[in-house]
Amino acid sequence: MSAARDPAGRREAILEATLEVIAEVGVARATHRAIADRAGVPLGSTTYYFPSQQALTTEALERVADRCREQVREWEQEIATGSNLAVDLARLAHDYLSDHDRALLEYELYLAAARSPELRVAARAWLSGLRAYLAPLVGGTAAVGIAALIDGFLLDSIATGETVSRADLEAAIARLIVRPGELAAELS
């Protein structure tokens, strides 16, 4: 069934086009017209499924949040119990940080959430995923630090066009992971 005859398919095409357009031109320039053109649908379709720019942006943020949660679930499966957590996290984070288009999309939506109380709920849910996964492995404080570290490197890659090396990621993550007894030894 074509998207023209499949309402769910048309809506999905519009949403995927929204993500592509936001990654390319930003939230402010992601108009219904630009999105309709990208999706190959009439302009009226975008406003039928998403009556406002806010509705479109909110659903886009929720879609990105869902994908991030899926990414964390994949990480959970890839990180073996008893493995070197810093090495595994650095490898996975490096792969994640290497996707420049995704980085741009995520930060466009972060900034949109900063200006829109309606988007903040979805943004909070999105940001809590990695922290919630890491907390039982490394403790709450380290989980917050590692998530912030990855976010910082993501922002750095957007600004510079360069991805941090795996070695630097591993060293930074390892520094944040403190095993029981290590902190006492380090402080003495």
Q: Are residues 119 and 173 in the same domain?
A: yes
Q: Are residues 65 and 14 in the same domain?
A: no
Average pLDDT over residues 106-129: 81
pTM over 0.85: no
Q: Residue 20 contacts by C-beta under 8 Å, 6 or more apart in sequence? A: 38
Residue 94 lies in a domain: yes
Q: Does position 187 have pLDDT exceeding 60, yes or no?
A: no
Structural domain range at position 11: 1-51
CATH of the domain at 171: 1.10.357.10
Q: Are residues 113 and 161 in the same domain?
A: yes
User: DSSP secondary-structure letter at 164?
Assistant: P
Asked if residues 103 and 159 have their Cβ atoms less than 8 Å apart, the reply is no
Q: Does position 126 have pLDDT exceeding 70, yes or no?
A: yes
Q: Which H/E stretch holds residue 123?
A: helix 117-138
Residue 178 lies in a domain: yes
Q: Are residues 96 and 155 in the same domain?
A: yes
Q: Does position 3 have pLDDT exceeding 60, yes or no?
A: no
User: What domain count does the chain have?
Assistant: 2
Q: Are residues 43 and 134 in the same domain?
A: no
Q: Are residues 97 and 41 in the same domain?
A: no
Q: Are residues 11 and 73 in the same domain?
A: no
Q: For all residues of the chain together, what is the average pLDDT?
A: 85
Q: Are residues 35 and 74 in the same domain?
A: no
For tokens 């902190």, name the residue. Answer: 183
Q: How far apart are CA 12 and CA 100, in angstroms?
A: 23
CATH of the domain at 11: 1.10.10
Q: Are residues 79 and 21 in the same domain?
A: no
Of the residues 51, 69, 84, the one at which a domain ends? 51
Residue 56 lies in a domain: no
Q: Residue 23 contacts by C-beta under 8 Å, 6 or more apart in sequence? A: 101, 102, 104, 105, 108
Residue 93 lies in a domain: yes
